[in-house]
Amino acid sequence: MNSIDDSQQIVGIIGGTGLGDSLAKRITDGELLDLDTPFGKPADKILVGKLGNNRRIAFLNRHGDGHKFPPSKVPHAANIFALKQLGVKTIISMGAVGSLNEAIAPGDLVLVDQFIDKTCKRTNSFFTDYGAVHVEMAEPSCSRLREKIMNVGKNIDGEHKVHCNGTYVCMEGPQFSTRAESLMHKQWGGDLIGMTAMPEAKLAREAQMCYALIALVSDYDCWKPHAPGTDKKVLLHEIIANMSIACNNCVNLIEAVLNSDHVLNGQDCICRKSLELAVWTDKNVIPQDQKEMMKVLFE
């Protein structure tokens, strides 16, 4: 059964516009919070309420109202910091991807365990003015949280699979890959290609939060040619249909996880101690105002 502490703590959910609409309809006792952080305002107001087994959740739309933020402009630092301010220690994130792996089909869900970060225009650390802070990223997703989500995912019926692992290549965008790039990403060992998971996962680790990403597969990336003469409108309709299926499956999976007896907030998890040995700068030379500003990350 849920521990008292776990049931009282709040779980963060990060998703896109379509997922937000689907989740919002299932959230009870909802309240929209307009927050600010030292890194600016998050992408949108945060919806705090209850979902599943009376779990408290904080939902944040990664791209903002009306999908106004393109991948390179998503305020990831503000998003993660705002959730931590609310007391979130565990984040379940979700995002659309293309598949680089024949075995991972459109409509499937993937619990990402590894990332290859190709982004170059984004603030990827909270500690740019704080000092030298180096967190471990060998296991960028929380294995404890992923295992609990997978245990629930095994019991969800449907023709589309929930894959227990996959490597996500995060590109800068906003353009999609060339075929040469797509083939290169496959050779690197990538299973998925997307534009939004980084530096979100890195910042969650710096904030000492347990983080898991559920990837929603919309299509095969351009490494796999379409049949000759395929109409672009038909292709777009297929992609939208795949996303609708994956979105519905993802929302059902998240609700099932929140309805489960699993303890999602693991205070003893290694993710919750990621800053323990990460600060290399002499603490005596770190400005006091910086210490105060970043205090929430060390909680």
pLDDT tens per residue across span 76-109: 999 999 999 999 999 999 999 999 999 999 999 9
> Is there a binding annotation on residue 195?
yes
Domain residue extents for the chain: 4-298
62 is in an annotated binding site: yes
Query: 3-state DSSP call for residue 90?
Result: strand
Burial of 53 (0-12, 13-18, 19+ CB in 10 A): middle
Query: Which of 51-55, 202-206, 242-246 shows the lowest per-residue confidence on average (mean pLDDT)?
Result: 51-55
pLDDT at 8: 66
Under 8 Å between Cβ of 215 and 192: yes
pLDDT-derived band at 2, boundaries 50, 70, 90:
very low
Q: Is the pLDDT of residue 294 over 70?
A: yes
Instruction: Using DSSP bridges, classify how beta strands 167-170 and 210-220 pair: parallel, antiparallel or unpaired.
Output: unpaired
Q: What is the mean pLDDT of the chain?
A: 92
Active-site entry in 21, 157, 221, 231: 221
How confident is residue 115, by pLDDT bands cut at 50, 70 and 90?
A: very high
Q: Tell me which of 19-23, 46-50, 140-144, 178-182 is least confident.
A: 19-23
221 among known catalytic residues: yes
Give the number of other Cβ atoms within 10 Å of residue 28's Cβ: 8
DSSP code, position 197: S
Does 130 score more than 90 pLDDT? Answer: yes
The count of other CB atoms within 10 Å of the CB of residue 151 is 13
DSSP 8-state symbol, 227: P
pLDDT at 39 over 70: yes
Q: Tell me if 221 is assigned to a ligand binding site.
A: yes
Asked if the model's pLDDT at residue 3 lies above 60, the reply is: no
Cα–Cα dist 164/146, whole Å: 8
Q: Is 21 annotated as a binding residue?
A: no
Tokens of 32: 């929209």
pLDDT of residue 223 exceeding 50, the answer is: yes
Active site residue 219: yes
pLDDT at 26: 87
Q: Does 219 count as an annotated binding residue?
A: yes
| Active-site position among 191, 219, 231, 261 | 219
- Residue 185 marked as a ligand binder: no
pLDDT at 66 over 70: yes
User: What are the Cα distances from residue 46, in Å, to 33, 35, 144?
Assistant: 5, 8, 26
The pLDDT confidence band at residue 234, using thresholds 50, 70 and 90, is: confident
Averaged pLDDT for residues 191-213: 98
Is pLDDT of 282 > 70? Answer: yes
Where is 91: in which H helix or E strand? strand 90-99
Confirm or deny that 17 is annotated as ligand binding.
yes
Model confidence over 180-198: pLDDT tens digits? Answer: 999 999 999 999 999 999 9
Q: Decide yes or no: CATH 3.40.980.10 for domain 4-298.
A: no
pLDDT band at 160 (very low <50, low <70, confident <90, very high): confident
pLDDT at 137 over 60: yes
